[in-house]
Amino acid sequence: MLSFDRVAHLSDANAGPGLLSGAVPLDPSAALLTDRVAVVTGSAIGIGEAIALAFARFGAHVAICDRDVENLDGTADGIEAAGRRVVAAELDVRDEDACREFVHTVRDELGGVDVLVNNAGGGFFADFVDVNAKGQDALVRENFGSVTNFVRPVVAAMGERGGSIVNLTSIEAHRAAPGYAVYSAMKAAVTSLTMSLALELGPRLIRVNCIAPDVIPTPGVGPVGVHTPLPVAGHVDDVAACAVFLASDLSRFVTGTTIHVDGGNLAAGGWHRRSDGQYVTHAP
């Protein structure tokens, strides 16, 4: 059995500078986002609002955007109440020029960008054969184009120390989604893009990861049934906690991956938990 000192020595010999080498000992400050600048799209309500407010509580200045101006103002008030600076704008994330202009404004007012969370997106229920070309284009632009529209200008706004990009996908990116085929395909596309960007942007110290939520009640989704391995529903703050981790130095060696905040649903696959706690391979 190796001693602790021997394990530490081996780790140091194979690690670069930073937390892994022991040059920066791991402590609670690694979870903080003090004075970093984060952009969170779709941040008026639900998961986006929770992430924006959590970032502010952990010390970040936050730029937020949404088409829902009334609720966006509430998010902005919460950020300011945490003592952080905020830039807020009514914005359609499908508009590439507007996204680029917003990022330029953030860079001018807050001094650059350290974190991007691509949260905006949405879909509607319809069999694939009933989705016309206009509807399909809307789904592609809202769930995939919205990501690329922000990644390009944000990467240009990130400094030499790099940064973190977090893309919100869905459990539907990893399984079939009847009635949401195009939405699911776009979330899968974002997952694939995330892995490619992790390689392309790695030399610039920019990490790129996904969060795939499920069973998270939000104003857009409403109440959800709980048949997850964990016998409780999730909360938007569960997703926000994951986003804080991926934005912070705690995840400095994490890139190109997806974290599932789903109560164990992906792991369960076709298994369903009954009310008595037993698992069956058919719906309860």
Q: What is the dihedral of CA 76, 81, 86, 91, to 10 degrees?
A: -10
Element at 113 (helix H, strand E): none
Straight-line distance from the first to the last Cα atom of the chain, in angstroms, rounded to the nearest whole number: 48
What are the tokens at 46? Answer: 């639900």
279 is catalytic: no
CA 140 centroid distance within chain: 18
Q: What angle do CA 34, 86, 257 make, to 5 degrees?
A: 60
CA distance 192 to 156: 21
CA distance 263 to 266: 8
3-state secondary structure of 37: strand
3-state secondary structure of 158: coil
Catalytic residue among 58, 144, 183, 245: 183
Residue 226 amino acid letter: V
**C-alpha torsion sign, points 103, 200, 245, 210:** positive
* Residues 153-181: b if buried by 16+ CB within 10 A, e if exposed: bbbebbeeebbbbbbbbbbbbbeebeebb
Question: Do the Cβ atoms of 167 and 118 come closer than 8 Å?
Answer: yes
Element at 256 (helix H, strand E): none
Show which residues are catalytic.
Answer: 183
